[in-house]
Every structure is written in structure tokens, then in C-alpha cells.
Amino acid sequence: MEAAKFGNIVELDGMRGKVEKVNGNSVIVDIPINDSSEEHEMFEKTIVDHKRYKIIEG
């Protein structure tokens, strides 16, 4: 499996996010969270093992 690069869009567990940093065995991904009550977009960061995502765009 090819490892994602900075800026790639990846999919994991039905969610999509943008790769912010690439580490040896994982990537840090910004996942957008839409808070409809305040009508703005927030981001949550998560660490994902290279085996757990699929590259969508990049």
C-alpha cells in the first residue's frame, strides 16, 4: 500500500480528511466536523495508521 503524502485526501471509517503530517507508521488527518447549530466548520485531528485509510485525492 502506498503511504499518503501531505495534502492528500484520505478516507477512513466512512469519513474523509486531509493529511496534515506524515510520520513513519501513521499520518495526522484533519477531519471536518460540521456543527449545524453554529453553521461553521470545525476540524478534529486524528492519528491514523497507514493500514487504515484509503487515498481518495492527491
Query: What residues make up the domain containing 30?
Result: 9-57
Q: Is 8 helix (H, G, I), strand (E, B) or coil?
A: coil
Q: With respect to residue 25, please indicate whether it lies within any of the assigned structural domains.
A: yes
Q: With respect to residue 53, please indicate whether it lies within any of the assigned structural domains.
A: yes
Residue 42 and residue 35 in contact, taking contact as beta carbons nearer than 8 Å: yes
Q: Over 60: is that where the pLDDT of 7 sits?
A: yes
Domain count, the chain: 1
Q: Is 50 helix (H, G, I), strand (E, B) or coil?
A: helix
Q: Is 4 helix (H, G, I), strand (E, B) or coil?
A: coil
Of the candidates 32, 29, 34, 33, the one whose C-alpha atom is nearest the C-alpha of residue 45 is 29
Say what the pTM is.
0.81
Give 26 or 1, the one with higher predicted confidence: 26
Residue 3 and residue 25: Cα distance in Å, rounded? 9
